[in-house]
Structure 1
Amino acid sequence: MKINKLVSVITPMYNSENFIEVTIQSVQSQTYENWEMIIVDDVSKDRGPEIVERYIKKDKRIKLIKLEKNSGGAVARNRAIKEAKGKYIAFLDSDDLWHPEKLEKQIKFMEENNYDFTYTWYQKMDEEGNLLDEVVRSEDKVDYTRFLKSNQIGCLAGMYNAEKLGKIYMPLIRKRQDYALWLRVLKKVDYGYCLKENLAQYRIVNGSVSSNKINLIKYNWKLFREIEKLSIFKSFYYLSWNIFTKLILKN
């Protein structure tokens, strides 16, 4: 079965001159070629936009949008989603990478099984790009209630069918935006399904919000209470599950 559906790749960028080039190259190296890469610059102060513009001259599938004021990752991603024309929407941050077969295998997985929301395994790497001995392996499938207990889907690994589900946007919170997005998607489907292959590389940048565990606890609480509108009891219950999963089961 030949599949030729357009995929929109959503990439927010802020001061990413050290990484954006290899990120773009990982998309250009995809064996699946029908994609558009929408990069939204959140008022970078480095040469990131110049690097992107150099690639645009040679590859019209790459697009650059410049925000007028620094607004955060959620606003940047949502602007890209608004401009997206693809049947499928996938996410790749400006410092992460995809394996060459990522799009081809994931789209085939979705088309052949009629899945509207899928994700893959991915591997962590350090800031310099050295692979770490840690592959994040997600469960075979998740539903909304199960997912409240733990976010197993990396932003770089998830993909949803916008033609079927409509465009689904991220809430305007500073962190846990991907967690909140997947919860929104899971309200529209019975399950999200895992393609059990390591097809991406997640970069751990020193000093990032995601590397601060105390901040993650705070943002999870905000997500449960303010975005999902859960009761204090349920918020504490699911927050406890997240901490247990991250700190105890992982070890």
Structure 2
Amino acid sequence: MSTKNLVSIVMPTYNAAKYIKETIDSIIGQTYENWELVVVDDCSTDNTIDIINTYDDARINLVKLSKNQGAAVARNTALQNVTGEYIAFLDSDDLWDKEKLTKQLSFMKENGYVFTSTDYAEINEAGEKTGTVIKSHPKLDYEGVLKYCPGNSTVMYNAKELGIFFIPDIKRRNDFVMWLQVIKKAKYVYGLPEALTYYRVREGSLSKNKKKLIKYQWKVYRDIEKLPLMKSVYLLIHKIYTVLKKK
């Protein structure tokens, strides 16, 4: 495994036994083969670890936390163990198109981009497409990311150019906090207009609880980004509007 153009894939997981095999299989099936997967298990109580251990692939690195600490700590732990020039993110219940890494890496190298995302299609718990496709924005700066958070499992950035970013221990919206850190250094995130990621919509998932998401959205604006009150109110209203519009 060459470290040149190596893509490190960050995957925190907790009780994902129902989906993680399909997710890992979507990585193994990539046409781009120079990758490493760092899975951090946050003390799963199901057989998630057993499933991961069935893979005999040197590119897969499993890290087990000693106690349950949440997605932010698991994500940071994974980032402490990456070695690639590029970092991509994949939630343990989402899927990638087999051309995802090939196309996104080419998109970055051909255009000199250091921070990118893609469109993504929603799938249900059974893995069936719902017909909903969320478009990436062609180009966003910091102000744009405040309004439109890229899909976590679509993002890739050049760690050789930008470095590694760690996030505060926030239970929800920790991916949003990370992209806000990255965009400050990258200046722009560019969207590849093709649905190369499949986002699984699950009942009871953190992202389904809109009220709590709004609460943590406010926390990001005020406590982490230290934005002025009126700007935070405006952004929160904008977020609520986009959530309602999506419905």
TM-score normalized by the length of structure 2: 0.96
Amino acid at match of 2:157: Y
Q: Distance in 2 between matches of 1:226 and 1:32?
A: 40
Asked if the contact 2:4/2:85 (under 8 Å) is kept, the reply is no
The equivalent of 1:35 in structure 2 is 35
- Structure 2 gap segments, 5+ residues each: none
Post-superposition Cα deviations, 1:27-69, rounded to whole Å, max 9, x if no partner, equal: 00000000000000000001100110111xx211001000001
Q: CA deviation at 1:211?
A: 0.2
Q: Distance in 2 between matches of 1:150 and 1:219?
A: 15
Q: CA deviation at 1:176?
A: 0.7
Amino acid at match of 2:46: D
Amino acid at match of 2:79: I
Q: Which of 192, 196, 215 is residue 195 of structure 1 equivalent to?
A: 192
Q: Which of 115, 118, 132 is residue 117 of structure 1 equivalent to?
A: 115
SS of corresponding position for 1:188: helix
Matched length: 245
Q: Distance in 2 between matches of 1:24 and 1:119?
A: 20
Amino acid at match of 1:231: P
Q: CA deviation at 1:189?
A: 1.8
Q: Which of 219, 223, 228 is residue 220 of structure 2 equivalent to?
A: 223
SS of corresponding position for 1:230: coil
Q: Which of 93, 96, 112 is residue 95 of structure 1 equivalent to?
A: 93
The equivalent of 2:69 in structure 1 is 71
Q: Which of 235, 241, 250 is residue 238 of structure 2 equivalent to?
A: 241
Q: CA deviation at 1:130?
A: 1.3
Q: CA deviation at 1:171?
A: 2.3
The equivalent of 2:182 in structure 1 is 185
1:126 equivalent to 2:124? Answer yes
Q: Distance in 2 between matches of 1:239 and 1:224?
A: 9
Q: CA deviation at 1:142?
A: 0.3
- Structure 1 gap segments, 5+ residues each: none
Amino acid at match of 1:223: V
Amino acid at match of 1:40: V
The equivalent of 1:147 in structure 2 is 145
Q: Distance in 1 between matches of 2:225 and 2:138?
A: 24
Q: Distance in 2 between matches of 1:50 and 1:171?
A: 30
The equivalent of 1:52 in structure 2 is 52
Post-superposition Cα deviations, 1:110-145, rounded to whole Å, max 9, x if no partner, equal: 111110000000101111111111000021110001
Post-superposition Cα deviations, 1:203-239, rounded to whole Å, max 9, x if no partner, equal: 1111112101111110100111111011221211111
